Structure 1
Amino acid sequence: MTALPDDAEPEYTSLADKAYTVIRDRLIMLDIPPMTAIDDVALAKSLEVGRTPVREALKRLEIDRLVVSYPRRGTFATGVDITDLAYISEIRVQLEPLAARRAAEYSGPAIRADLAELADTIDRIDVRTLDRDELMRWDLHVHRTIYSAAANPHLEDTLIRYDNLATRIFCLFLDRMTHFDQHVGEHSGLLRAIAGQQADEAADRARAHVIGFEKAVREVV
């Protein structure tokens, strides 16, 4: 198994934050399948927290469009609708290049060194040896690292939300994709462009990455 860096492990500020993060990742990775009813009692037990933090987390996840609540029916994981891909990509193709450009322009030497080191790590990984969860977690880690380096918390929050939705689609169709290693491998060049303060190249690579992802999914649908 290829372990993520230590800083990829989340730090929880509250029980509700812990519940939100863990349930969110289970939804993103499809460990909670689309359209599945959410059992807040079972979730609370598995997370070793009370039902109140779980309920608070579910309210946040509804805003993220990862769950939906119906009166007298309960809360369910949202479906993964391929028609949403165009809407998600329309937003990401504008904002991902912005985040990459900002990261190249505004991140300091220490952050740029970390990004270059992350690129080196990715180059050493044989993507095809990773299981689905490892692959997805690396993908999420790279994107979230770039969003953080962009130094705009509002942009970061927005991109995390839409990258989460895109990742659910990625998980759903990963087994059919023949060149997923190429998609993940693109991260290295993007990270190096940011680390080298090549803002235009970083933005172009980020845009191409989003467009390539949508194309790859549509080829297997």
Structure 2
Amino acid sequence: MRLARRRLRADPHRRGLRAGRVQRRSAHHAVGRLHHRRLQRARRVPHAVVAARRGRRARRRLRRLPVQRPPELGDHDHEGHSGWRIDEIDAQVTGWVRAAQPRSVLLHIGTNDVVQDRDMPGAPARLSALIDHITAAAPDADVFVSDIIVLADPVLEQRAQAYNAAVPGIVGQWAGQGRHVHFVPMHDALSTADLADGVHPDAVGYAAMANRWYAALTAGPWI
């Protein structure tokens, strides 16, 4: 044993190996202590902070979810919400309009009422109330209201046509009271061949809708 120790002291290479082992053990212990301190700090993080971090991660995941629009459409500033009916939009619209202070409003609504078969006899009255709330929140804005596009399913299309028949009259009533409301015929702008899933337009269908909106916007002194 004594001879081995002397040889270790005499051999600088073996001394380096031994020193390297000591340094690695020291580094390992330092990492362990650092990890322990981080765990201790993590235990002291308030639950609200942890919840906020989880909320940020959830929002990032939501941003990665697919949405019902072609990716080539550039303008995503709208209040189109997947599956929302007239009454659900109406419950939020006053705050949205007051915050945005829009010059023009494009309103194509009622498809989800049709698909969900939500009290279709009462749908025209719900649309009228929504127009009232939009024009009251932004009295100087021009509101362009369209009937809804064609639907592939015959039962849904029958409901849509019954609803669409009431839309021009509702718009005319509010326009007769001095509200800046205009009707835009949209149902015949598309065919079922322009639908991606029987309900939502494909890229060609969205282009056809955009052309109708553009024609209405440029037909008067509104822009």
Considering the TM-score relative to the shorter chain, is it more than 0.5?
A: no
* TM-score band w.r.t. shorter chain: under 0.3
The structure with more helix, counted as a fraction of residues = 1
CA radius of gyration, larger in: 2
Higher relative contact order, chain-length normalized (CA < 8 Å, sep 6+):
1
